[in-house]
Amino acid sequence: MIYASELEALRDRRPDGTLYCLHLDRLERTARTFRQCFPGEVMYAVKCNPEPRLLRTLVECGFSMFDVASMPEIELARAIAPKAELFFMHPIKTVEEIASAAENFNIRHFSVDHLDELAKVEESITGDRVSTVVMVRLATPGDATYDLSAKFGATPGETIEIMRRAADEGFSVGLCFHVGSQVTNVQAWADAIRLAGRILREAGVAIRAFDVGGGFPAAYGGSPALDIDTIFSVIGEEIDRLELPPATRILCEPGRAIAAPAFTTLARVLLRKDRRLYINEGVWGSLSESMTGRIHFPATVLALDGGPPEGPPVDFEIHGVTCDPTDRLYTSYPLPDDIRRDHWLRFDLTGAYSIALRTRFNGFGYGEIVVVETEKERRWGRLELVNAGD
pLDDT digits (tens, 9 = 90+) for 102-143: 999 999 999 999 999 999 999 999 888 999 999 999 998 766
**Of the residues 254, 281, 312, which one is the last residue of a structural domain?**
254
Whether the full predicted model's pTM is greater than 0.85, yes or no, is: yes
pLDDT of residue 369: 96
pLDDT digits (tens, 9 = 90+) for 294-346: 889 999 999 998 888 999 999 999 999 999 999 999 999 999 999 999 999 99
Residues 247 and 265 in one domain: no
Domains: count for the chain: 2
Contact 138, 177 (CB under 8 A): yes
pLDDT of residue 376: 42
Q: What residue ranges of the chain have pLDDT lower than 50?
A: 376-377, 379-390
Rounded-to-integer distance, Cα 21 and Cα 4, Å: 11
Rounded-to-integer distance, Cα 121 and Cα 125, Å: 6
| CATH number of the domain that residue 297 is part of | 2.40.37.10
Name the residue range of residue 193's domain.
Answer: 89-254
**Of the residues 230, 254, 278, which one is the last residue of a structural domain?**
254
Residues 180 and 272 in one domain: no
Rounded-to-integer distance, Cα 95 and Cα 119, Å: 9
pLDDT of residue 145: 64
Give how far the C-alpha of residue 128 lies from the chain's centroid of Cα atoms, to the nearest Å: 33
DSSP structure string for 156-189 = HHHHHHHHHHHHHTT-EEEEEE---EEE--THHH
Residue 44, in any domain of the structure: no
Residues 193 and 244 in one domain: yes
Contact 367, 21 (CB under 8 A): no
Quote the DSSP letter at residue 217.
Answer: P
Angle at 170 between CA 110 and CA 70, to 5 degrees: 15
Residue 30, in any domain of the structure: no
Q: Which residues of 325-340 are buried (b: 16+ CB within 10 A; e: fewer)?
A: eebbbbeebebbeebe
